[in-house]
Structure 1
């Protein structure tokens, strides 16, 4: 080679070396970092795919479809739901050979499937809802009877209601009566009462009793009933006879338990066996809630697992004692079959509530896995159980029971999977000491996992954090596992032969210990923290982060901390409305200058007021005198100052309404305000409440108040038809005798003496 000639390859290598030295000197290669991140990310995704973790996201997307359906302002058309599901299935089939496209299409199938299941469920159970409050005579067959502290709550399958036609008559009504007069489930009765449509939420975004009643087939609720009259019996369908027989058995067992074990211990024992919680005292309920143990008296996955698991273990042990059977026959599968049948009986006996149905589905998958020689407790089985529950009862997704139960089980299964992957078993040595160490550590770890996983949902629904829930559950769960649920099973087995009293007494003793623990922990400092209600977006972020942490099995899971942190930030400082208005305009809560809520009209809507205080993170009772310190009332209404100094009036009469329209900045009334009132004040009247239900108002500095409505833009199947009242014409000027200067001086808030009114408007 001639001197001075340069090889092009040498030049390229020199440039590459120069770039390498430059990157080294700069200390960071952005492109290389990005490439390395994506390479590692795809590698982790491939590992998750190989482990079959993609499938576990299907119920998550299906839940998204259910939530989308229930967030709609009006009922989606069934044909639209069917079309979306069909198209997504077709796309998934066409994209089956392309991994990325198929994954997206599968997510769309799950999303549209949850939406479609919800639409089908509504269509299947749709029944008339009472459209307007009416007093009338209801005639029908009692389907269920539940003892309550002040009587019995009954559900009646209607033959007639007042003069309503069949198309307008609800299928079922519910009412609490003081005396059954010899009636029981299956009796045909007549009853006069004041019947109302099932109420909606007491605040926007709150619990919707009307929706729950709709999915139970209840189209009206009664109050102020007359005496119950038993009529001549009527022919029953096979389904009615079966349901009524089970309800009568439930009531007989409840009476037997309560007679054997007096007090709250017997009431709770009956609740755990038959699902009837009406006789539990408010003191016991409050102690269990404060200690974080209220889930113990609600039949859920824990109780179904203990009941079925105990039955499985007892049958299997009994079969091993039979010569020639234990070693030569599949007694494990036989025991699983018996346990599955027994769990189905427990489901029927306990009332078949949605939460119990979902718990049965989960336990059924475990026993089916045993029968089919598959691993029982896996995340895949949990996903299958969740999909089954979503298809059968999609409305359960909205309730705390579904959310908390699946979150707890998901966290526990994820912990066991991580423990197995880390080969944690056997690390504590052998012998009795090692056995105790391993199992105690497992109890502690699973309790911690379940408590942390359920905390976001419990706080979202109940606005309370049981600070000492971890120690209380660590003390309580062994009692539930050894002294309560196994003896519930034994009591049911011995009940037909009349030898069950000892079982109920032992069960009652265990429940007594549980109550002692609850009441003791309830006295600890800071036992309960009340927090303001946070938005659905916060709980969605927390739930999404929890799913990400539990479903993925590689380092990819730690990205789930991002939505968890976001959810905590959103939940830490939620917006709080300044005014709450009852759906019937009988009560309000106004944030005063001191930042706390002042309540007016509480005696008309104490339940709504309790919910408002809880949603505001306020631990005061509605009976607390400080809750009405800022309120000034006369017999025509009340007035109070808002946090920005404006006067807010709650008016019950037209005489007071005319005056308040001139003097208050915000007027709230169940009556119909005259048109001119809206020129001088923000008005929420009978028309607004009939249209929108409960309303909240947020005051803005220098701007118009923002209102949030319970109903939104449309009406769902579980809402009564909107009937806006016309009200008086307001065409004649008021007579002098009808005008009353309010007995409240809104300039000072003091009472003054004025003339009497001839029109109280009530």
Structure 2
């Protein structure tokens, strides 16, 4: 009872405090710790603890919002391990946490601790189970001129090329047990694209999915593993169509929607002459943004409008909302129906069905799945006469989407989508009541002004909420994002999306041309908005990559800020600001080496990176992006001095001197004898096993550990590699990809 009185003294009667401790505090502390008064020495700590407990008790209605945080944290813990845990670890953790919670069920604090551990363990188990479920062979080496036969499951249209995803392929140079479950092959757009569902044969060069370009960079290899993609490649020939039996079940449904996306792209291209406008219109209708030219995509990114091209919650919500109001209005035209049927609930059901159909049509990307879940719950709440907007709705959607695709939780689409929604609902919770009062007191003009203000406020909140994720994943800030969204979002909401729904309805009858033309007028305005703001000075800047620790501080601080309602929530703002400051504190590597040793980079005195070749590939572009630099410094010379005289090159290789260290880059093995005994580190795509330099990074080490980052310091050369960061996991090719159950039967 003494502790309860302490908490009550701190939280329930703050107005009676006189700067020290009131009577209730004195009596409560004495009852809890004795009358000797020793506790007075610890009074600030005890008071702080009591205040914390009191705030937490007052927020008991919000405790449930931390369940998806713990669930996602458990999944992130699995992906953060540097080794693959035994199959039983997740099950054992869940069982132990459940037993702990059961044993402490009579003690509230213990029960909450047990529940928290159970949620974390459940997230870990789901991620581990998903990794086992999708396990499939991954190509371990490059295959040249292999004959690949498989069924086309997806056709992606890109500028100048087509990208085919083949399911259950047969590869001439691989045994069945070594063959990936799916491969993705790039072909020229000069060839007629095969229809989804067709069986094709072509000759292609295949490679394993590429690992990260540097330690800590985006891991496409992991993403490909969870997509079931075991190899990528290209073909210079035309695919040969083969006779094959039709597919059945869900695969047939998937193929049907893929065919529908292709049909939409064809009809848009036949109606809209301008290829840029056609690609944007098609992207909004079928979710395929690959065909949009790079210059246009850059304009959307630099202007802060890239989210309009990625089918997300905005599009699904608008589509469901439009159909909801249209169906309700049509049913209300009949007094007999309106008086006898629950037309609002019927319209909500149509909203759910439209959101589901739209998601399947655009390929079900993760943000859209999240939006469908939330839209379904909102419409379900309407059908059950409940409040449709709440933070608990987001919590449910977070758990469901994480369970469906645990690895997708690590990507920018998931994180930015949820960040915007959580921030908007948190803001709505705080301003909804005053807004309702203002709205009742305004006429039509005042309500119009209030609506415009709502768009501005929504744009500001969404932009600020997604900024940390843009910094972490893309190292980019779009300064005019609020202004561009104020123009583009109303055009998309009130013109583009309504016409897109009309186009959907007319497409089966071949009468879609007028709707597509009208829709394209809005798309043209959105494109012009993107180009205008992207062309302004300082439209976008890049910054160095944020550290993982800083990013975690931002995420947890933002959740703390939005989840709680009492003043202590502002503590989260400190963590957010601290995390956002970390890019200025991050030390970028002095030397970068690609995984194949074909591209290397060294730091100039100005801090910019100088590359051994042009930064035209994924690796060089990733290095510059994570540096926060739009372009590299002067390239390495073939011979002579360069990089602020830090680099000296000849036909055999280059020597780089900085911070009192000397590093040799080998072009030809003839340089080994001279450099091995005279440098602090030796790097090159050659075999240098006999070299006695303090640090040797040759082709064998690169093949084993992937890309390297080197930091030249007074105490020596500090090394970081992709393998150091990732460890040995199923998607790295270091662990057998198909786990085996205790019975000895392979898991499907």
TM > 0.5:
yes
2:216–2:725 Cα contact (<8 Å) kept? no
Q: Which of these residues, 588, 602, 607, is aligned with residue 618 of structure 2?
A: 607
Q: Which of these residues, 377, 380, 390, is aligned with residue 378 of structure 1?
A: 390
Q: Which of these residues, 686, 691, 699, is aligned with residue 671 of structure 1?
A: 686
The equivalent residue for 1:344 is 356
The equivalent residue for 1:466 is 478
Q: Following the alignment from structure 2 to structure 1, what is the Cα–Cα distance between the partners of residues 108 and 236? A: 63
1:151–1:177 Cα contact (<8 Å) kept? yes
The equivalent residue for 1:223 is 234
Unmatched 5+ stretches in structure 1: 1-18, 22-28, 724-762
Displacement of 1:626 in angstroms is 6.1
Displacement of 1:718 in angstroms is 1.5
Displacement of 1:299 in angstroms is 0.8
The equivalent residue for 2:711 is 698
Give 1:636-655 correspondences, 5 Å limit: 638-639=653-654, 641-644=656-659, 646-655=661-670
The equivalent residue for 1:411 is 423
Give 1:80-119 correspondences, 5 Å limit: 80-119=89-128
Q: Which of these residues, 546, 553, 557, is aligned with residue 569 of structure 2?
A: 557
Q: Following the alignment from structure 2 to structure 1, what is the Cα–Cα distance between the partners of residues 383 and 673? A: 74
Query: Is the aligned partner of 1:689 residue 2:702?
Result: yes
The equivalent residue for 2:283 is 271
Deviation by residue 1:80-117 (Cα, 9 ceiling, x = unmatched)? 10111122123223433322112111211211111111
The equivalent residue for 1:240 is 251
- In structure 2, the CA distance between the partners of 1:159 and 1:596, relative to structure 1 (3 Å rule), is closer
Displacement of 1:402 in angstroms is 0.7
Give 1:33-432 correspondences, 5 Å limit: 37-49=48-60, 52-135=61-144, 136-178=146-188, 179-181=190-192, 183-261=194-272, 262-420=274-432, 425-426=437-438, 429-432=441-444
2:374–2:394 Cα contact (<8 Å) kept? yes
The equivalent residue for 2:739 is none
- In structure 2, the CA distance between the partners of 1:273 and 1:94, relative to structure 1 (3 Å rule), is farther
TM-score, length-normalised on structure 2?
A: 0.87
2:710–2:717 Cα contact (<8 Å) kept? no
Deviation by residue 1:527-553 (Cα, 9 ceiling, x = unmatched)? 112100021110110111110110001
The equivalent residue for 1:718 is 731
The equivalent residue for 1:709 is 722
**Greater shift in the superposed pair: 228-237 or 270-279:** 228-237
- In structure 2, the CA distance between the partners of 1:646 and 1:320, relative to structure 1 (3 Å rule), is same
- In structure 2, the CA distance between the partners of 1:470 and 1:699, relative to structure 1 (3 Å rule), is same
Q: Following the alignment from structure 1 to structure 2, what is the Cα–Cα distance between the partners of residues 48 and 641? A: 58
Displacement of 1:420 in angstroms is 3.0
Q: Following the alignment from structure 1 to structure 2, what is the Cα–Cα distance between the partners of residues 648 and 356? A: 49
1:587–1:650 Cα contact (<8 Å) kept? no
Q: Following the alignment from structure 2 to structure 1, what is the Cα–Cα distance between the partners of residues 235 and 597? A: 21
Q: Following the alignment from structure 1 to structure 2, what is the Cα–Cα distance between the partners of residues 565 and 500? A: 50
SS of residue matched to 1:667: strand
- In structure 2, the CA distance between the partners of 1:632 and 1:339, relative to structure 1 (3 Å rule), is farther
SS of residue matched to 1:127: coil
Q: Following the alignment from structure 2 to structure 1, what is the Cα–Cα distance between the partners of residues 279 and 527? A: 12
Deviation by residue 1:614-649 (Cα, 9 ceiling, x = unmatched)? 1112121x5x7568752666665x525343264444
Q: Following the alignment from structure 1 to structure 2, what is the Cα–Cα distance between the partners of residues 82 and 599? A: 48
Q: Following the alignment from structure 1 to structure 2, what is the Cα–Cα distance between the partners of residues 393 and 502? A: 39
2:221–2:732 Cα contact (<8 Å) kept? yes
- In structure 2, the CA distance between the partners of 1:711 and 1:312, relative to structure 1 (3 Å rule), is farther
Q: Following the alignment from structure 1 to structure 2, what is the Cα–Cα distance between the partners of residues 263 and 632? A: 48
What is the total number of aligned residue pairs between the two structures? 690
**Greater shift in the superposed pair: 71-80 or 711-720:** 711-720
**Greater shift in the superposed pair: 60-69 or 434-443:** 434-443
- In structure 2, the CA distance between the partners of 1:711 and 1:39, relative to structure 1 (3 Å rule), is closer
Q: Following the alignment from structure 1 to structure 2, what is the Cα–Cα distance between the partners of residues 20 and 121? A: 54
Q: Following the alignment from structure 1 to structure 2, what is the Cα–Cα distance between the partners of residues 491 and 197? A: 41
SS of residue matched to 1:53: helix
- In structure 2, the CA distance between the partners of 1:363 and 1:299, relative to structure 1 (3 Å rule), is same
Q: Following the alignment from structure 1 to structure 2, what is the Cα–Cα distance between the partners of residues 522 and 722? A: 45
1:275–1:299 Cα contact (<8 Å) kept? yes
Displacement of 1:328 in angstroms is 2.9
Q: Following the alignment from structure 1 to structure 2, what is the Cα–Cα distance between the partners of residues 659 and 228? A: 51
The equivalent residue for 2:523 is 511
The equivalent residue for 1:619 is 630
Q: Following the alignment from structure 2 to structure 1, what is the Cα–Cα distance between the partners of residues 416 and 43? A: 43
Query: Is the aligned partner of 1:582 residue 2:580?
Result: no
Displacement of 1:721 in angstroms is 4.0
Displacement of 1:290 in angstroms is 0.6
Displacement of 1:311 in angstroms is 1.5
Q: Following the alignment from structure 1 to structure 2, what is the Cα–Cα distance between the partners of residues 20 and 306? A: 55
**Greater shift in the superposed pair: 713-722 or 405-414:** 713-722
Q: Following the alignment from structure 1 to structure 2, what is the Cα–Cα distance between the partners of residues 321 and 640? A: 82
- In structure 2, the CA distance between the partners of 1:87 and 1:594, relative to structure 1 (3 Å rule), is same
Q: Following the alignment from structure 1 to structure 2, what is the Cα–Cα distance between the partners of residues 108 and 502? A: 57
Deviation by residue 1:672-709 (Cα, 9 ceiling, x = unmatched)? 2132x2x2353211121122111111111243333343
**Greater shift in the superposed pair: 417-426 or 398-407:** 417-426
SS of residue matched to 1:611: helix
> Which of the two has higher C-alpha Rg?
1
Query: Is the aligned partner of 1:483 residue 2:495?
Result: yes
Q: Following the alignment from structure 2 to structure 1, what is the Cα–Cα distance between the partners of residues 57 and 256? A: 55
- In structure 2, the CA distance between the partners of 1:635 and 1:176, relative to structure 1 (3 Å rule), is farther
Q: Following the alignment from structure 2 to structure 1, what is the Cα–Cα distance between the partners of residues 230 and 346? A: 44
